[in-house]
C-alpha cells in the first residue's frame, strides 16, 4: 500500500510540474524505455540514424506533456512501464517509417563519411529538454476554456465522473473530448 501511495504522490507532483519529481521519474523509468527501444532497434542502418536516447527523449516529452494535462489514469508502476514501453514502440515505428520513406531510405548505400557519430551517452539531459514550464504553458494556452478546466481538474486528481458532474455530459464523453484536444495540441507543438 505504501508503494502505491508513493507512486501516486510522484505522479501528482509530475502533473503539477515539479522538476524534482520529473527527474526522479526519468531516473527510475528511463532504462525501461531504452531497453524497449534497443530490443526492437535491430537494423544497423536505423541505429546510424538515431539511438535509443533519441526515442526515449521523445517518449518522455510526450508523457510529461500529457501527464501535466492530466491525461493518464495510472494506478501502479507496472501500468506506467507498460504505457512508456508502448509509447516507445510507437515512436520507434514512426521513426522507422520516416527513415524508410523513398527519398531518405536508409537501406540505400551510404558512404562512411555520411555516417553521423553516435552521441555520447548521458550527454543530453532529457528532463531539461522535456519539462520546460514553457511547454506546459504553451499547451494550456492552446486549450479552449472547457478543455483547460478539465486539465486543471485532472491535475487536482479529480476522476472523469467528477469532472462530468461539474461540467456536464458523461465521464466517457469528457475523457474522449479531452483526449482529442490533447492529441491535437501535441501535434501542433511538434510542428512548431
pLDDT digits (tens, 9 = 90+) for 92-113: 888 877 777 655 555 554 444 4
Under 8 Å between Cβ of 115 and 54:
no
3-state secondary structure 84-149: HHHHHHHHHHHHHHHHHCHHHCCCCCCCHHHCCCCCCCCCCCHHHHHCCHHHHHHHHHHCCHHHHH
The answer to whether residue 166 scores a pLDDT higher than 50 is: yes
Q: How far is CA 146 from each of CA 15, 68, 101, 181, 183, rounded to the nearest angstrom? A: 19, 16, 39, 10, 16
Percent of the chain with pLDDT strictly greater than 90: 2
Q: What does pTM read for this prediction?
A: 0.56
pLDDT of residue 82: 92
Q: Is 24 exposed, middle or buried (0-12, 13-18, 19+ CB in 10 A)?
A: middle
pLDDT at 123: 47
pLDDT of 174 > 70? The answer is yes
Using 50, 70 and 90 to split pLDDT, how confident is the model at 52? Answer: confident
Give domain limits for the chain.
1-104, 132-192
**Rounded distance, CA 68 to CA 133, Å?**
10
**Mean pLDDT computed over 116-145:** 62
Comparing 116 with 58, the larger pLDDT belongs to 58
Cα angle, residue 105 at apex, residues 104 and 110 outer, rounded to 5°: 90
Mean pLDDT across the stretch 120-129? 51
What's the length of the chain?
Answer: 192
Above 80 in pLDDT, residue 128?
no
User: Cβ contacts of residue 18 below 8 Å, gap of 6+?
Assistant: none
**Mean pLDDT across the chain, nearest whole number?**
77
Across the range 186-191, mean pLDDT stands at 69
More confident residue, 166 or 97: 166
Per-residue pLDDT tens for 7-44?
888 888 888 888 888 889 889 888 888 888 888 877 77
* Fold of domain 1-104: Rna Polymerase Sigma Factor; Chain: A (1.10.1740)
Amino acid at each position: 500500500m505504501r508503494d502505491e501511495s508513493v507512486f501516486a504522490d510522484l505522479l501528482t507532483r509530475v502533473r503539477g510540474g515539479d522538476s524534482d519529481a520529473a527527474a526522479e521519474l526519468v531516473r527510475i523509468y528511463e532504462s525501461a524505455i531504452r531497453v524497449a527501444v534497443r530490443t526492437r532497434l535491430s537494423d544497423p542502418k536505423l541505429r546510424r540514424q538515431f539511438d535509443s536516447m533519441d526515442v526515449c527523449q521523445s517518449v518522455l516529452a510526450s508523457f510529461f506533456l500529457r501527464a501535466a494535462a492530466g491525461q493518464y489514469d495510472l494506478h501502479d508502476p507496472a501500468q506506467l512501464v507498460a504505457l512508456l514501453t508502448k509509447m516507445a514502440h510507437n515512436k520507434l515505428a514512426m521513426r522507422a517509417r520516416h527513415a524508410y520513406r523513398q527519398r531518405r531510405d536508409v537501406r540505400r548505400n551510404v558512404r562512411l563519411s555520411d555516417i553521423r557519430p553516435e552521441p555520447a551517452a548521458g550527454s543530453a539531459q532529457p528532463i531539461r529538454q522535456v519539462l520546460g514550464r514553457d511547454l506546459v504553458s504553451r499547451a494550456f494556452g492552446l486549450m479552449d476554456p472547457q478543455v483547460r478546466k478539465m486539465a486543471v481538474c485532472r491535475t487536482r486528481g479529480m476522476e472523469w465522473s467528477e469532472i462530468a458532474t461539474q461540467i456536464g455530459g458523461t465521464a466517457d464523453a469528457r475523457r474522449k473530448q479531452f483526449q482529442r484536444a490533447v492529441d491535437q495540441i501535441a501535434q501542433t507543438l511538434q510542428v512548431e
